[in-house]
């Protein structure tokens, strides 16, 4: 899409982007396909918008993405919770592989730049204070390290390593029996010990329903109408973007230092969201679309929620918060 040159500088065509963060093994979260968070219009004080309180016929006047709770959120791990569960799985995997003398890979700390909540960035940036310094980024970019990246090893892995990790061949290594499913299977069993299971349990159901409702809401006429209103507001400032996601996908705003142009566009973006109540409308429509799927799958979703709580308890027991 072409962009006009306005007082904030010439715009370049954004690349459409949807982000799905997948964190193994069962820790996945809803599509955070845009950017940001934090200020509620209306009465002027922050408040959490619960799903039962919203109706697409009378959407709440709201801007704070971080405060939103969609009906399916109860059954989904948040970004930081999801990262903690993934880290717990890796720690359990390492405990197993150490028994076989495999080298310890470094555990990655939970990224401090992750969104704080599931919906903080679901409908685009909303945190004016963050946008003033970080633009469309999750946080202000750190200086690029001048240290060279270590070269990846070209040595093929020991075939026994795959046996230990996956259990593809039963038996023992150096006299130690390989667990069923390898160390990966052992780690998953320990992470999910006591969790409700069953052959028909789909652990990805909540995530899939959340993704479906997000994309379906984006195609809804009410959301498309409010996006057009937001786009018209942006044009009054010399900016041509079809939607908040297109603004967030502007290639100039993805890497490198945060520029004055980026922070100015981000501020205008948020002001137009507030003027059109884009977040309130989109949230209300998606809440409406999520309720039938939740009602039809409540028993399975409750098992997923219980499993998530067990995984988080295991993570805390390993010292991972």
Q: Are strands 27-28 and 22-23 parallel, antiparallel or unpaired?
A: antiparallel
pLDDT per residue over 285-294, tens digit each?
Answer: 999 999 999 9
End-to-end CA distance of the chain: give it in Å, rounded.
Answer: 43
126 vs 136: CA distance, rounded Å: 10
Q: Is the pLDDT of residue 166 over 60?
A: yes
- CA distances for 261 relative to 11, 132, 235, 252, angstroms: 10, 11, 15, 9
Strands 5-6 and 9-10, sheet pairing: antiparallel
Whether a cis peptide bond, with omega within 30° of 0, leads into 247 is no
Using H for helix, E for strand and C for coil, what is the string for the chain? Answer: CCCCEECCEECCCCCCCCCCCEECCCEECCCCCCCCCCCCCCCCCCCCECHHHCCCCCCCCCCCHHHECCHHHHHCCCHHHHHHHHHHHHHHHHHHHHHCCCCCCCCCCCCCCCCCCCCCCCCCCCCHHHHHHHCCCCCCCCCCCCCCCCCCCCCCCCHHHHHHHHCCCCCEECCEECCCCHHHHHHHHHHCCCCCCCCCCCCCHHHHHHHHHHHHHHHCHHHHHHHHHHHHHHHCCCCCCCCHHHHHCCHHHCCCCCCHHHHHHHHHHHHHHHHHCHHHHHHHHHHHHHHHHHHHCHHHHHHHHHHHHHHHHHHHHCCCC
What average pLDDT does the structure give for the chain? 82
Pick the closest to residue 63 from 288, 290, 276, 285 (CA basis).
Answer: 276
* Backbone angles phi and psi of 278, in degrees to 5: -60, -45
Residue 15 corresponds to which tokens in the numbers above?
Answer: 């690349």
The tens digit of pLDDT for each residue in 70-116 reads 999 999 999 999 999 999 999 999 999 999 988 765 555 555 677 88
Phi/psi for 227 (5° steps) reads: -65, -40
Q: What angle do CA 106, 109, 115 make, to 5 degrees?
A: 150
More confident residue, 122 or 199: 122
**How far from chain centre, in Å, is Cα 217?**
17
Structure tokens at 120: 């903080």
pLDDT given for residue 221 in this prediction: 98
For residue 203, how many other CB atoms are within 10 A of its CB?
18
Kindly list the domain boundaries of the chain, sorted by start residue: 23-141+159-317
Q: What is the structure's pLDDT at 105?
A: 58
What is the model's pLDDT at position 146? 47
pLDDT of residue 53: 58
Per-residue confidence at 16, pLDDT binned at 50, 70, 90?
A: very low
Looking at residue 111, its pLDDT comes to 58
Q: For tokens 């997923």, what's the residue?
A: 304
Q: Which residues contact 281 (CB under 8 A, 6 or more apart)?
A: 56, 59, 222, 223, 226
pLDDT of residue 145: 52
Residue 24 pLDDT more than 50?
A: no
pLDDT digits (tens, 9 = 90+) for 176-202: 999 999 999 999 999 999 999 877 789
229 is written with which tokens? 């209103």
pLDDT in tens, 243-258: 999 999 999 999 999 9
Confidence grade of residue 232 (pLDDT, cut at 50, 70, 90): very high
Closest CA to 307 of 26, 87, 80: 26
Q: Which residues contact 119 (CB under 8 A, 6 or more apart)?
A: 30, 65, 66, 68, 69, 70, 73, 283
């Amino acid at each position: 899409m072409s962009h006009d040159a306005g007082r904030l500088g010439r715009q370049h065509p954004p690349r459409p982007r949807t982000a799905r963060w997948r964190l193994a093994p069962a820790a996945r979260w809803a599509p955070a396909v845009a950017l940001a968070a934090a200020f509620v219009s209306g009465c002027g004080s922050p408040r959490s918008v619960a799903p039962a309180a919203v109706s697409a016929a009378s959407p709440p006047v709201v801007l704070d993405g971080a405060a939103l709770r969609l009906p399916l959120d109860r059954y989904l791990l948040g970004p930081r919770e999801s990262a903690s569960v993934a880290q717990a799985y890796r720690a359990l995997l390492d405990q197993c592989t150490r028994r076989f003398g495999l080298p310890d890979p470094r555990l990655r700390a939970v990224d401090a730049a992750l969104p704080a909540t599931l919906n903080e960035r679901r409908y685009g940036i909303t945190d004016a204070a963050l946008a003033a310094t970080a633009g469309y980024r999750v946080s202000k970019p750190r200086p690029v390290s001048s240290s060279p990246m270590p070269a990846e090893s070209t040595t093929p892995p020991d075939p026994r390593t795959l046996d230990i990790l996956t259990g593809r061949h039963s038996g023992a290594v150096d006299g130690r029996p390989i667990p069923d499913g390898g160390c990966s299977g052992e780690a998953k069993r320990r992470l999910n010990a006591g969790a409700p299971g069953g052959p028909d349990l789909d652990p990805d159901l909540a995530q899939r329903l959340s993704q479906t409702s997000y994309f379906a809401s984006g195609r809804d006429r009410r959301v498309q109408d409010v996006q057009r209103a937001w786009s018209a507001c942006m044009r009054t400032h010399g900016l041509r973007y079809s939607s908040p996601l297109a603004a967030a996908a502007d290639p100039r705003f993805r890497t490198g230092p945060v520029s004055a142009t980026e922070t100015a566009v981000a501020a205008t973006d948020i002001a137009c969201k507030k003027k059109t109540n884009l977040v309130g409308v989109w949230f209300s429509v998606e809440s409406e679309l999520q309720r039938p799927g939740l009602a039809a799958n409540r028993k399975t979703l409750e098992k997923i929620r219980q499993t998530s709580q067990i995984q988080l308890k295991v993570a805390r027991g390993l010292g991972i918060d």
